[in-house]
Each structure stands twice: as C-alpha cells, then as structure tokens.
Amino acid sequence: MKYFDVAVPIDKFSNFTYLAEEEMGVKSGSVVKVPFRRKVLTGVVIREGKPYKGAKKIQEKILDLPEDLFKLAIWVSSYYLCPQGLVFSFCFPPFMKRINKVQEYPKKKSSIKLNASQGKAYKQIIEAAKEERFKTFFLFGVTGSGKTEVYLRVMENILKKGRSVLYLTPEVSMIPQVLERVRDRFGSGEAYHYKLSKGMKYSYWINALNGDLKIGVGSRMSVFSPFRDLGLIIVDEEHSESYRQEEPKPRFSAREVAIMRGLIGKFPVILGSATPSVESFYNAKSGKYKLLELPERVKGWKLPEVEVINPEGKLFSKEMDLAIGETLKSKKMSRVILFLNRRGYAPYCKCYNCGWTAKCPNCDISLTLHKATDSLICHHCGYTKERLVNCPECGKKIVYLGWGTERIEEEIETKYKDYNIQRMDTDAISRRHDHEKIYNGLKKGRIQILLGTQMVTKGLDLPDIGLVGVLSADTALNLPDFRATERTFHLLSQVAGRAGRGGKGKVIIQSASPNHYAIRNAAEHNYRGFYNDEINFRKSAGYPPFLKLARILIKSRKKKKAERVGELLKEKLERFRNREKFIILGPVSCPIGKIEKRYRYHILLKAKSGYALQRILKKLYNIRVLEVEISFEINPVNML
C-alpha cells in the first residue's frame, strides 16, 4: 500500500492523503475516484504522500494525464491563484462510457503558393519545430494577408512528423469556418467548445488522449486538450478578450496558458493578429516574441477605402444609405456587413414626464427592450419583465430610446425588403449548429446583408463583401476602463478587414468622435500609429505592459459589509508593503456597482513583478467572511 496526495475539486489550497494498492499503478498525474465526505469525487494524484492514520482508499484509477498537461495545470493553479483540484476539474470532460470514433473527411487539393513574406515566416517557424525548440512567434499581418495559409503549411509540417496540432479561435462562431479549412486540407479535425454535448466533449477528449485525433480546433477551454504528442499551438486573433476566462474558476488567459504549454512541451506557439494586443506587440518589439510580418494582402487585393462620417444623431447617415444601396446593386462585390455592438431593440426606457427609467432591480444597469420576446431584459443577470407602455410612477406614456441590433434589423427589412437579411448576435444564435447555418448561408450567397455585434468582426473570410458599415463607433470608447480605447480600435479594424477580399471594398464608420486616435488610426489602417499613442498613455498612467496588475473583487448583498471587507483587505495589504513593492488603488465601487443583487467593490494592485502580486494575494486567499464573496484576478481584462 502507498500513500498519495490527491487534489479534489474544492475551493481551498489543500490536498488530501489517500491509500492505493500498488497494482493499481497510481502515480503523479493519475485521475482517480476518491471518497470525500459523503461524496465520491474525481481528483488527481499530485505526489506520493506521507503515511496518515485516517487515510481512505482510492476507489478507482480512471487514466493517466499527459505529463505536459499535468505540469501545465499545476502552473495554472500557482499563477492564477486557483486550487489545483478546481483547475484539473475544469480540464476534464464529463466522463462517460461511449466514445464516437474520429471521422475522416474528403481532402481538397490546394494550389495556393506562398508569397515571399509568407514563405519567410513559414521557414522560421518550422526551423524551431525541427529543433524541438520552444519559441513564441508573432505573426503580424494586415487583414487578408494570408495568415491562415501560413498556419496550415506549418500544421502540415508538424503532422507529417506524427505530432498533434491545436488551433485556438476566440469565438465559437469562428470554429465552423476554420474547421472546414482544416478538414479540406488534412481530411480530419474535431471541434471542442462549451456548446458541444457531453458525449461530443468526452469523445474529443478521449480520442485526443489516445492519439486517434491529431487536430483540435476550439475555443479557450481547448488549450487543455490532452494530446500526448503536441507539436504546435496556434492562437488566432490573439488580441481577443474572449481568450480570457472570468467565471467559473480558473480565471485564466488561454493565450498565456498556450505559451506556457509550448515552453513545457518544447514546441513553437504562433500568435496571430492584424491588430495585436498592446502587451503582445510590446513583447514582439522587445524580442520576447519573434515578430514575423505580412505587410500586404494576398492576390494583390487592396485594403478597403475607409470613410469616417459624423451621423449627427441619425442611425443611418446619407452616405451610409447610399453606399448600402449601391453595394447591393453591384454585380461583383454585392454583400454588406453592418456592425453595432449592442443587442436587443432599444437599450433605454424613459418617462420624460417624471424622469423614471427602467432599471434592473438586481443590477446597476438599464433594462433593454427585446422586441422578439416583447420584454425588458437585463443583460447581466437575465431579469425579465413585460414590456411597459405607461410609466409605473406617473402613468404617462414612456419612450424607448437608442438602437440595438433588433431595431436595425427591423429598419433594414423595411428599406431593403427584397434582400435576404441575417442577424448574428447571441440572441439570434442560441443552438449549437446556428453558427454553421449562418456561415453556410454566407458562403453559398444566400445572405446579402449580415447584421450583428462583435461576432461579425472576427474571422469571416468571404470574397464579395463590398461594404462594411459601422453604425456607431463610440459605443465602448468612453467606458471607465483603461482598455476601452484598445477595444474600440480592435473592433473597428477587424470589422473593416472583412471588406474587399475579392475586389474593391469600402468601409463607412459613423462616429461623433472622428478625431479620436483609435478611430483615426483604424480608418487609416495604421496599427503602429495607434500603438505609439496607446503605449505612451500606458507608460504615463502606469498600466501594462509597464506594470503588472491584479484585482480583488468583493461582492455582497449588503453594501456596508462589502465596504467594510474592502477596507479590511486594504489594511492587510498595507502590512505587506514593507516587504513587497506595490501600489494599492481602492477599495472603490466598481463602475457597475451592483450585479445580481450583489454590491461590488474592487481593489487594484500594481507592481513591477507579477510574482510579487501572486505572493501577496495567496496570503489572502483563505480569508472567508460570512455573506461576502472575495475573488482574485491576475492580469485582469475587464475592469467594470
């Protein structure tokens, strides 16, 4: 009999000692079933343990994790301050008995030749792969420059060596298009994301573990795919904040985790983007990542002409209306994408007589009218109430203000009733295959006008998009978050990049702030201009990449209690300042001060060393206060 320390999925930095018969073959990285209190939990063996009198027996060994995945999960636990058992639990699929076999698909021959820039990038990446050497490559190419073809060529090289490949995309909506290309080229490849059924998740996971599956295409959770012979990870659209997990724990960045997995496994990692995150481009310029550039579009396509218009309060400027009509009548570049990053019908409901507004009773935000369900909905907690006609305070008629994608859809269906219109947002796409249906409709030319939120800004590679219209570029520009400007630039640049991939394209951006550097540089396709302005702001304000950040979020149904716990945590933090150098900001109420009936306060920590912040926060992790939830984030993305 041997003793083992096992991590089980509970929210404490504690492991538990169990006994196992030697013939079970239990070792570090074994996934086991163990009795815990009155339950049976799935845990992972961390190491051999010391004899313990009250130790219970391990009931069953399920499988052994790949060594690199085991080490990766231990690192994630330490780096992102999440107990090991919770990290391993997140990695696992629902364990089942039946496995679907890996499917094969007909291959299609590719006649695409790499241009000089693509060829140079390809050679440098495969050199690192040949030497089984870790290196992070940053593939910086304008939209339509052929980054995907470089990915596919490198994948081909890795697969010929018998190793596996993981291709990450930030949005589930992008997976069907990527998967189609991968299957056309290699005859195989499976998806992994949260919308899959339990059986599909389990089949993917076991097939990857057994080596029957060699190509995985997925969202952020797929970074923990259990390939035993991984030889390459691609992180496409690396700038996307969708790679960040906030709930449930672990709160991790798939981009950072992918890089660490490459370091552990000694293989290259490719980050790709036309609009790099400020931190990634700083790392590329400083030499931490190898910068590879694709400065021109393939096939001689030109970047689209961009016009910035002040709509002066209108939803559709005259220029926008004219351009939509001309594009739809065009023989070649005849399709339109319209972008508005606000779903629903109308985001505000107000009584002009007494000033009453419709607010969520659980959250500190306005309710949005959704005409499809004829109801007012909170986009944070899901609270719903019937649509109001008269003010509940004074009885006068209320007014619905502002525009959401539902209202835009209604407007353009009236104006362009002879054309097929498709809305693409989380309300329109609720089932697993909806993404594929829309993508196939676009590919086969059945959809002439695509309207949507940020789903339409990423990954769509269609040859006949003649016009991209951004209906309001200012939606996120003035949010109280230091990344608001960067988000705006990314969204505008990415959606503009959908135009003109098969000929001459045009982009119209409607903005009340046309001279803001995010909008000006997006209109000029000038990433470096934006980066120079933004990096100067970050340096002067003390934000990443110059300082590391951590955030403590305090939530409680009792406002005074949340305030008191915030002050208590600050007092404890102050005691560490003689041993660690860091800055404390707060506690203050979050910009969205209440969500789901919980008042929210946060403390922001800044330091030159991220490890210093981890050491400090780990000392606070086990603090428990009745009726208060305390959470910790390393490198937070959302400050609202």
Same domain for 339 and 445?
Answer: yes
**Residue 102 counted as domain residue:** no
- Reported as a single tens digit per residue, the pLDDT across 129-155 is 998 899 999 999 999 999 999 999 999
Beta bridge partners of 57: 19
- 432 — pLDDT class (breaks 50, 70, 90): low
Q: What is the pLDDT of residue 71?
A: 98
- Whether the per-residue pLDDT at 68 is higher than 80: the answer is yes
Same domain for 501 and 584?
Answer: no
- Reported as a single tens digit per residue, the pLDDT across 241-278 is 999 999 889 999 999 999 999 999 999 999 999 999 99
Please report which helix (H) or strand (E) contains residue 294, including its range: strand 290-294
- Token pair for residue 387? 């649509």
Q: What is the mean pLDDT of residues 85-89?
A: 98
Last residue of a domain, one of 522, 539, 556: 539
Same domain for 577 and 455?
Answer: no
Q: Which of 352, 367, 364, 429 is nearest to 404 (CA)?
A: 367
Q: What is the pLDDT of residue 548?
A: 96
**Residue 391 counted as domain residue:** no
- Percentage of the chain exceeding pLDDT 70: 100
Q: Which of 68, 430, 458 is nearest to 226 (CA)?
A: 68
Q: What is the mean pLDDT of residues 539-562?
A: 97
User: Which CATH number does the domain housing residue 519 bear?
Assistant: 3.40.50.300
**Residue 110 counted as domain residue:** no
Q: What is the mean pLDDT of residues 151-174?
A: 96
What is the DSSP track for 226-284? --SSEEEEEEETTT-GGGB--SSS---BHHHHHHHHHHHHT--EEEEESS--HHHHHHH
- Token pair for residue 417? 């009733």
User: CB neighbours of 231 closer than 8 A, spacing ≥ 6?
Assistant: 129, 158, 161, 163, 164, 165, 267
157 CB burial (10 A radius; 0-12, 13-18, 19+): middle
- Token pair for residue 577? 């300042």
Same domain for 328 and 339?
Answer: yes
- Whether the per-residue pLDDT at 631 is higher than 80: the answer is yes
Q: Which of 280, 492, 525 is nearest to 270 (CA)?
A: 280
- Reported as a single tens digit per residue, the pLDDT across 284-307 is 999 999 999 999 999 888 899 999
User: CB neighbours of 571 closer than 8 A, spacing ≥ 6?
Assistant: none
Residue 248 dihedral angles phi and psi, to the nearest 5°:
-80, 180
Q: What is the pLDDT of residue 580?
A: 87
- Token pair for residue 204? 């993917």
Same domain for 492 and 413?
Answer: yes
Convert 537-547 to b/e letters by CB count within 10 Å (16 or more is b): ebeeeebbbeb
**Residue 254 counted as domain residue:** yes
Q: Which of 406, 335, 337, 416 is nearest to 377 (CA)?
A: 406
Is the CB of residue 344 less than 8 Å from the CB of residue 405?
A: yes
Last residue of a domain, one of 243, 270, 298: 298
| Residue appearing with tokens 């985790």 | 257
CA 80 – CA 296 distance, rounded (Å):
38
Q: What is the pLDDT of residue 104?
A: 95
Q: What is the mean pLDDT of residues 469-478?
A: 91
| Residue appearing with tokens 């990634």 | 280
- Reported as a single tens digit per residue, the pLDDT across 173-213 is 889 999 999 999 999 999 999 999 999 999 999 999 999 99
382 CB burial (10 A radius; 0-12, 13-18, 19+): exposed
- 442 — pLDDT class (breaks 50, 70, 90): confident
The one-character DSSP state at 625 is B
Q: What is the mean pLDDT of residues 229-252?
A: 95
Same domain for 233 and 219?
Answer: yes
User: Which CATH number does the domain housing residue 613 bear?
Assistant: 3.30.70.600
**Residue 380 counted as domain residue:** no
User: CB neighbours of 193 closer than 8 A, spacing ≥ 6?
Assistant: 172, 175, 218, 219, 221, 222
Amino acid at 216: G
**Residue 564 counted as domain residue:** yes
- 459 — pLDDT class (breaks 50, 70, 90): low
The rounded mean pLDDT for the chain is 94
Same domain for 504 and 437?
Answer: yes
Same domain for 161 and 274?
Answer: yes
- Whether the per-residue pLDDT at 617 is higher than 90: the answer is yes
- Reported as a single tens digit per residue, the pLDDT across 6-32 is 999 999 999 999 999 999 999 999 999
Q: What is the mean pLDDT of residues 575-592?
A: 93
Q: What is the pLDDT of residue 460?
A: 74
Same domain for 450 and 527?
Answer: yes
**Residue 398 counted as domain residue:** no
Last residue of a domain, one of 484, 508, 539: 539
| Number of domains the chain contains | 4
- Reported as a single tens digit per residue, the pLDDT across 333-391 is 899 999 999 999 999 999 999 999 999 999 999 999 999 999 999 999 999 999 999 99
- 168 — pLDDT class (breaks 50, 70, 90): very high
Q: What is the pLDDT of residue 7?
A: 98
Same domain for 458 and 590?
Answer: no
- 457 — pLDDT class (breaks 50, 70, 90): confident
Q: What is the pLDDT of residue 444?
A: 85
What is the DSSP track for 33-50? EEEETTEEEEEEEEEE--
Same domain for 135 and 284?
Answer: yes
| Phi-psi domain of 427 (left: phi exceeds 0; alpha: psi -120 through 50; beta: other) | alpha
Same domain for 26 and 132?
Answer: no
User: Which CATH number does the domain housing residue 9 bear?
Assistant: 3.40.1440.60
More confident residue, 168 or 440: 168
What is this structure's pTM? 0.94
Q: Which of 425, 427, 469, 423 is nearest to 442 (CA)?
A: 423
**Residue 244 counted as domain residue:** yes
Q: What is the mean pLDDT of residues 430-454?
A: 84
Q: For residue 138, what are the domain limits? A: 116-298
